[in-house]
Amino acid sequence: MINSKSEVGSMLKVGLHKERVNSYLEGKNIFPVTLELDLTSECTRVCPECPSINSAKHHHLTIDFLEKLFANLKGQTSGLLLTGGEPTMSLLFPKVLENARRFGFQEIAVVTNGSLINRSHVADALLKYATTIRLSMYDWEDNSKGGVGSTLKRIEFLRQRIDREGSELKIGASALTSASRVGQLDSLVERLRTAGVHWIYFHPLCSKWGLGSPELADQDGVSAKIEQIRAGRNGGNDVFFIRERYQNTDLRFNGYHAAHFLLVVGADGLNYLAPEVKYQSKFVIADFHEDDRLDILWDARRLDLISSIHSQSYSALQSRHRSILYNHFLEGLLRQEKNSLEDFKIAAKTRFSFPHIL
Ligand SMILES: C[S@@+](CC[C@H](N)C(=O)[O-])C[C@H]1O[C@@H](n2cnc3c(N)ncnc32)[C@H](O)[C@@H]1O
The 10s digit of each residue's pLDDT in 270-315 is: 999 999 999 999 999 999 887 667 789 999 999 999 999 999 999 9
Minimum-distance ligand 1 atom for the alpha carbon of 52: 1
Would you say the CB of residue 109 lies under 6 angstroms from ligand 1? no
Q: Specify burial of residue 246 (Cβ count, 10 A radius: 0-12, 13-18, 19+).
A: buried
Nearest Cα residue to atom 6 of ligand 1: 86
Tell me the angle at which helices 185-195 and 149-165 cross, rounded to the nearest 10 degrees: 40
| Residue 85: Cβ within 10 Å count | 24
Three-class SS state of 45: coil
- Name the amino acid, one letter, at 283: F
- Name the amino acid, one letter, at 11: M
The 10s digit of each residue's pLDDT in 119-161 is: 999 999 999 999 999 999 998 987 666 679 999 999 999 999 9
- Kindly list the distances between the CA atom of residue 51 and the CA atoms of 45, 125, 216, in Å, as whole numbers in the listed order: 13, 27, 15
Nearest Cα residue to atom 5 of ligand 1: 112
| Residue 145: Cβ within 10 Å count | 10
| Residues with pLDDT less than 50, the chain | none
| CATH 3.40.1360.10 at 13-349, yes or no | no
**pLDDT score for 2:** 57
Pocket test for ligand 1, best of 37, 42, 47, 218 (most atoms within 8 A of CB): 47
**pLDDT score for 50:** 81
Q: Residue ranges per domain, the chain?
A: 13-349
**pLDDT score for 224:** 97
Q: Distance, CA 136 to ligand 1 centroid (Å)?
A: 7
**pLDDT score for 141:** 85
User: How many Å separate Cα 79 from the centre of its chain?
Assistant: 11
**pLDDT score for 293:** 72
- Non-local CB neighbours of 191 within 8 Å, separated by 6+ positions: 140, 148, 152
Q: Distance, CA 50 to ligand 1 centroid (Å)?
A: 7
**pLDDT score for 4:** 56
**pLDDT score for 235:** 74
Would you say the CB of residue 81 lies under 6 angstroms from ligand 1? no
Would you say the CB of residue 136 lies under 6 angstroms from ligand 1? yes
Minimum-distance ligand 1 atom for the alpha carbon of 84: 3
